[in-house]
Chains A and B, each alone.
Chain A
């Protein structure tokens, strides 16, 4: 069932303090997988969609499902969802949701690089805003992990 949250004062150890910081690293790692699986999945699906054209949804779908590119893209999106849900099993929603918005940045960069889409200045400005936002959210989470591990350590000392 994972570590017991809010363990009583008698059982807190320095290991709990370290685990606060280790769990942030784990969260970031899992979210990186979420972000890249999602962005790569989108590139594959988008490539496929452009290839089969747009003669209507059903025909598109019927043609798309026959190709491995479609299934590979879909599989990556499923992997992305599993990692997203897993991260939510221990991390805060108010951290995970904005952190995952970094996928928009990766999507724009991938679209520009792999799909040769032209990215406007407005979009690059948006990318800059998101990046600063994600850095602030990351910092807030790191400070929290730091503060919590410190609190645990002072309790252990006593």
Chain B
């Protein structure tokens, strides 16, 4: 039970992190990664953005719950569970960020999810 709760927390926090990070980055605006000067000024805006910071917070929660859960649970249980993040983050993108997800994209995402599960098995 403890394992299930921690894994659920890890997966949910991971997806929430993705969604918040995306929202923060969209609020900051398109980053010109090839222009170092513009990149540095935008960096200050990024790390003071609340959504971005919430994203980083959720990522930290993910990492910590991952470390805690692998201290007793089997990796071959934890890693396959992690692949659910692909589906959950897409649901988050659809409902919270209002992205259009076509059937082709969904098919691709489900295949990725299955594939990641398979690669995490021995």
A residues lining the B interface (CB < 8 Å): 1-3, 30, 83, 85-86, 88-90, 92-98, 101, 104, 108, 120, 122-123, 125-141, 143-144
Contacts and interface: CB of A to CB of B under 8 A. Distances in A.
A143 B105 CA distance: 11
A85 B21 contact: yes
A111 to B, nearest CB: 10
Given A89-B30, A94-B94, A136 B104 contact: yes
B116 A94 contact: no
A2 B42 CA distance: 11
B116 A2 contact: no
B110 interface: yes
B2 to A, nearest CB: 21
Contact of B32 (A2, A88, A127, A136): A2
A134 B33 CA distance: 24
B105 A136 contact: yes
Q: From DSSP, what is the main secondary structure of chain B's interface residues?
A: helix
A7 B118 CA distance: 44
Interface string B80-121: 000001100110111001011110110111111111111111
Which are the 5 A-B pairs with shortest beta-carbon distances? A2-B30, A126-B118, A129-B115, A136-B108, A133-B111
B111 A129 contact: yes
A15 to B, nearest CB: 15
A139 B103 CA distance: 12
Interface string B26-44: 1011111100000000000
A108 B31 contact: no
A79 B71 CA distance: 28
Interface centre among B31, B46, B93 (most CB of A within 10 A): B31
A89 B99 contact: no
Given A1-B30, A97-B89, A89 B110 contact: no
Nearest to B27: A89
A108 B119 CA distance: 8
A93 B97 contact: yes
Contact of B101 (A83, A89, A90, A94): A94
Contacts of A140: 102, 104-105, 108
Contact of B116 (A128, A130, A132, A135): A130
A133 B89 CA distance: 16
A129 B30 contact: no
Contact of A137 (B22, B109, B118): B109
Contact of A130 (B19, B102, B107, B119): B119
B87 to A, nearest CB: 10
A90 B32 CA distance: 10
